[in-house]
Amino acid sequence: MAETPSLVVIGDVHKVWRPEDSTFLENGDQDVALFVGDLGDEDVDIVQTIAELAVPKRVILGNHDAWRSFSEKRITDNLRLSLSRLGTDHLAYDVFEWYQAGVSIVGARPFSWGGMSLRSPEVYRELYGVTSHEESADRIVDAARRAQHRDIVILAHNGPAGLSFETHDIWGKDFGKSPRGDWGDEDLELAIDRIKSAGLRVPLVIAGHMHHKLITPRGALRTRFLRAYGTIYMNAAVVPRTKQIANGTILSYFVRVFFSAGKLQGFEEIWVDPSCRIREQSRPRVMEEVG
């Protein structure tokens, strides 16, 4: 057990998950591991691997985890299997009580593609009875109202609307014929506003989806940590989540987050080698926004 309660965030996996990553988590002293999704492309095997990790964990599946279901506007067998393998570890519209830290972790809408459209309301209707951003915001707020703590950490696949305009912004649109603009989720923006209006605090929002290296301008880097209106936003989508260093060793990326008595104590990005040693460690620079 760590001195300060901690959790570990795993950004978009995109099938890059090694046995050493499982060992790192299973030997770690974090209280919970949080996955922001895009484990694979409706890949039940990778979902199974994550589901079998012998650690407390919660997952919010991403658009890639429901890729075929969204194009076919129906729930495929693979998506059903993925959801059943994860069971209650899938935190969609649900709450996880992180008692050691005095914080409740609330899951937002899974499978988000970002932008203004839900893409396939058919899938959301069948699974969650949700057909609009407004209804989805209601479900997120309901989960927060059930929370036992007044400090709420939100786990989402994509971040909220309202923070981005340029391609390099934390959830800025960097693709298509006319890049730029906000690719955040409207339901999450609405929900955060309403959760705060209800007198709860939201010290941290954890998401991914919009990868750290931009498509336009190609190779430029995205802002991934931002403070705005009393909340820190983290985009953990470093993709791929491994890199090779000079001697050929492959390192894996994680973010550690420390909380105590409901207060965010800090966070650090770490790169871990196959023997679970931390080889690189840095405190990310947090961009400041007005508010």
User: For residue 155, what is the enclosing H or E element?
Assistant: strand 151-158
**CA neighbor of 195 nearest in space, from 240, 165, 223, 153:** 153
Query: Would you say 151 or 186 has its CB closer to Fe ion?
Result: 186
Q: State the number of binding residues for Fe ion (CB under 5 A).
A: 5
Q: From CA 167, how far away is CA 112, in angstroms rounded?
A: 18
Phi, psi of 172, deg, nearest 5: -75, 150
- Length of the chain equals 291
Report, in Å, the least distance between residue 11 CB and Fe ion.
8
The region of 26-34, 36-44, 81-89, 260-268 touching Fe ion under the rule CB under 5 A is: 36-44
Considering only residues 178 to 217 of the shown chain, the ones binding Fe ion according to CB under 5 A are 209
Report, in Å, the least distance between residue 222 CB and Fe ion.
12
User: For residue 251, what is the enclosing H or E element?
Assistant: strand 250-260
Query: Would you say 40 or 162 has its CB closer to Fe ion?
Result: 40
| DSSP 8-state class, residue 89 | G
Contact call for residue 43 and Fe ion (CB under 5 A): no
Contact call for residue 6 and Fe ion (CB under 5 A): no
Decide if 102 contacts 55 (C-beta within 8 A): no
Q: Applying CB under 5 A, which of residues 5, 6, 10, 12 lies at the interface with Fe ion? A: 12
Contact call for residue 62 and Fe ion (CB under 5 A): yes
Contact call for residue 63 and Fe ion (CB under 5 A): yes
Contact call for residue 38 and Fe ion (CB under 5 A): yes
